[in-house]
């Protein structure tokens, strides 16, 4: 990743972070023709969610502003000590993909949820999204759904994996 870029945790005390997350999620949804609320409505939701202990949001920023984000939730688990981390969203601005931003977001996400005791992370991926599937597989995630006829696939990976 370029030295002028940083990946950091979004802060509940920074209204600009919620606004940026709302805009990025809106961009993500519209890029993939997903139904979405307006960016300002999404920003209001992020503003509420960022203060919750079970929610983490990360921002990737560069010289020209926001370049991507990750949004994670943690939920209790009975099959091991510690929560399960769910990577709800990971998005990088299209023109900046393949620059290491997604990897930097994923690395920090893994580190932060591992600090909170989560031994694994779950990610739902559209079955037809082969580029995204390859990205997660390259980072040690495994699809646990049989076959590929499902609309959404569930990938699971450890939080302590050292990325390649």
Give domain limits for the chain. 6-158
Whole-number pLDDT of residue 148: 59
**For residue 45, what are the CA distances in angstroms to 9, 38, 48?**
17, 11, 5
Whole-number pLDDT of residue 151: 80
Cβ neighbours around 131 below 10 Å, total: 8
Question: In this structure, what DSSP letter does residue 83 have?
Answer: P
Give per-residue pLDDT as tens, 76-120: 999 889 999 999 999 999 999 999 999 999 999 999 999 999 999
**Residue spans of the chain under pLDDT 50:** 163-164
Helix axes 39-49 and 15-31, enclosed angle (nearest 10):
130
From CA 155, how far away is CA 146, in angstroms rounded?
11
pTM reported for the whole predicted model: 0.93
**Would you state the CATH architecture of domain 6-158?**
3-Layer(aba) Sandwich (3.40)
């Amino acid at each position: 990743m370029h030295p002028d870029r940083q990946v950091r945790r979004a802060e509940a005390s920074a209204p600009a972070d919620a606004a940026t997350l709302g805009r990025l999620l809106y961009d993500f949804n519209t890029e993939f023709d997903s139904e979405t609320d307006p960016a300002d409505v999404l920003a209001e939701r992020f503003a509420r969610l960022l203060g919750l202990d079970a929610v983490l949001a990360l921002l990737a920023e560069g010289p020209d502003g926001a370049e991507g984000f990750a949004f994670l939730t943690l939920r209790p688990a009975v099959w091991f000590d510690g929560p399960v981390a769910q990577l709800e969203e990971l998005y990088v601005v299209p023109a900046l993909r393949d620059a290491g931003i997604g990897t930097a977001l994923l690395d920090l996400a893994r580190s932060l949820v591992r600090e909170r005791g989560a031994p694994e992370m779950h990610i739902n991926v559209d079955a037809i999204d082969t580029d995204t599937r390859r990205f997660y597989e390259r980072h040690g995630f495994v699809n646990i759904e049989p076959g590929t006829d499902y609309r959404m696939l569930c990938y699971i990976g450890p939080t302590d994996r050292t990325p390649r």
